Amino acid sequence: MKLMKWALVKGLKIFIKYRDRFLRKKYALQLKIQELSQGGHVTFGSNLQMNQPTIFQGKGDLYLNNGVILGYSIGGAPSLPILLQPREIYAQIIIGKESIIANGTEIIAREKVVLGEKCRIGARCIILDSDFHGLRPQERNTSGKVAKVIIGDNVWLGMGVMVLKGVVIGDDAVIGAGCVVTKSVPAGAIAVGNPMKIVGSVYDD
């Protein structure tokens, strides 16, 4: 009986291992197919891990540097894909080395969104570098203001964070779940809420 149980556990571990490998290759192939159909460009670094379906849209450039992880199998929003959309022909989305982007995250760039190295982006985060529509009633059919978003190294965005145009987030900063980031955040700051407020620093004792 013990031998049978051991064999079943061993067999299940092998199945999961090869299933995960197959899914990662499938998701990477889907991304390349989307690249061809959209007219944009995707650059993969080494050791890319794709654990979640990822949608590429747009005519711009997407850079996934070494060791990037897309999706987390036991994280929040397990049924939601990741959306990476460098919309315009000169738009860029750059994901730094060893950064982790959780399920359901959307990053949309009309100019540029940069995510530093070793960042952790929680499920259902949204990062935008544009308003996409003009503010005044007569301007609603215009494309609105655009300003690049720069997120430093080792930044942690909790679940459901929204980062809006023109924001710069310094290295090591932590943004609490559900926070709407409309202005820049210093390195190491802890920011929470809507409206956002800074409540501390990760560098404090």
Q: Do strands 106-109 and 126-128 pair parallel, antiparallel, or not at all (unpaired)? A: parallel
Q: How many CA atoms lie within 13 A of 23 on its CB side?
A: 16
Active site residue 133: yes
Q: Are the CB atoms for 188 and 175 separated by under 8 Å?
A: no
Per the residue annotation, which of 10, 19, 32, 133 is the catalytic one? 133
Phi then psi for 126, rounded to 5 degrees?
Answer: -130, 130
Token pair listed for 170: 């310094």
Longest dimension (CA), the chain: 75
List residues with catalytic annotation.
133
